[in-house]
Amino acid sequence: MPLEQPSRVHELSAEEAAIHRRLDPARLPEHVAIIMDGNGRWAGKRSLKRFFGHKQGAESVQYVVETASRINLSWLTLYAFSLENNLRRPRLEVSFLMKLLSSYLTSNVGRMNDNNVRIQYIGRIHELPPEVRERMEWAAEETCRNTGTTLTLALNYGARSELVDAMRGLAREIEQGLLRPEHLTEQDIQRHLYTRDMPDPDLLIRTSGEMRISNYLLWQIAYTEIFVTDRLWPDFRGVHLLEAIEAYGSRNRRYGGLGEVGDEPGVLASKVLVPR
């Protein structure tokens, strides 16, 4: 966390607290990103229109945000509306999602403040309808002094278009003589991403069982651990976030190296280098 936060673990449900007790504090993610999928299927299974699935999905958002804030998760980034959703879904569904976002913000900013949650956005926000942008700016302004979890909503977001926007920024710097192409580094690309002020996700959760990344944070997830659950997003709650975090705790992150065992020089020598 940017600031030391008081513990709010006593606010977890009994089920959440049971999982939380099993977590190793040294193996907690700092940043969790989620692909929220399955709203339509959730509604379909109940012979309801897709809109009901999205409405229920918005409820899940708030449950998960509050659990994240109770465990002092620093960063939570939710894929709420992709560029492809915007281009390929029926206009009626797109306008419903926009209204749902506005009403979600209006109804939940008070709770965000109660939970010390700061809201921000990534994506081509300028292409969203002005009245939605106005609500988004209001919510960001209302919560900007909070120091707990940063909730980032990816809206009209696509990772490839984020990279295009970053390349445009870099091309301008080169054009102005501020950067030479042969000096370009990964950090230069990083500082032009929408996520420039955020750490990369440690854990990416995808609901509804699909094994896809769907153009989400492609640069940022280079070394992210992936957790896929069959649970549909409208059924996802804080307890499921904690289950995913527990699974993350048992992963051996290697970043292309040899991981925890191989990091110890003596072990490396005996296991890898010494011929029998």
Closest CA to 139 of 108, 97, 116, 95: 108
CA distance linking residue 68 with residue 150, whole number of Å? 10
Q: How far is the CB of 4 from ligand FPP (least distance, A)?
A: 29
Closer CB to ligand FPP, 61 or 239, in the complex:
61
CA distance linking residue 6 with residue 35, whole number of Å? 29
CA distance linking residue 93 with residue 86, whole number of Å? 9
Closer CB to ligand FPP, 20 or 207, in the complex:
207
- Amino acid code (one letter) for 104: Y
Closer CB to ligand FPP, 54 or 237, in the complex:
54
CA distance linking residue 107 with residue 88, whole number of Å? 28
Structure tokens at 119: 């809201």
Q: How far is the CB of 154 from ligand FPP (least distance, A)?
A: 10
Structure tokens at 14: 């009994």
CA distance linking residue 202 with residue 224, whole number of Å? 5
Closer CB to ligand FPP, 73 or 170, in the complex:
73
Q: How far is the CB of 103 from ligand FPP (least distance, A)?
A: 8
Does the active-site annotation cover 200? no
Can you give the binding site for ligand FPP, defined by CB under 6 A? 36-41, 50, 54, 57-58, 61, 80-81, 85, 100-101, 104, 153, 233
Q: How far is the CB of 102 from ligand FPP (least distance, A)?
A: 9
Does the active-site annotation cover 114? no
CA distance linking residue 53 with residue 50, whole number of Å? 5
- Tell me the Ramachandran region of residue 232: left when phi exceeds 0, alpha when psi lies from -120 to 50, beta otherwise: beta
Closer CB to ligand FPP, 113 or 190, in the complex:
113
The DSSP symbol for 57 reads H
The residue of the chain with the least Cβ separation from ligand FPP equals 40
Closer CB to ligand FPP, 37 or 243, in the complex:
37
Q: How far is the CB of 13 from ligand FPP (least distance, A)?
A: 21
Q: How far is the CB of 196 from ligand FPP (least distance, A)?
A: 22
| Active-site residue (options: 39, 85, 86, 108) | 85
Contact 9, 20 (CB under 8 A): yes
β-bridge mates for residue 119, sequence order: 151
| Strands in the chain per DSSP E | 31-35, 75-82, 118-122, 150-157, 203-206, 225-228
| Active-site residue (options: 37, 39, 108, 200) | 37
Q: Which residues are catalytic?
A: 37, 85
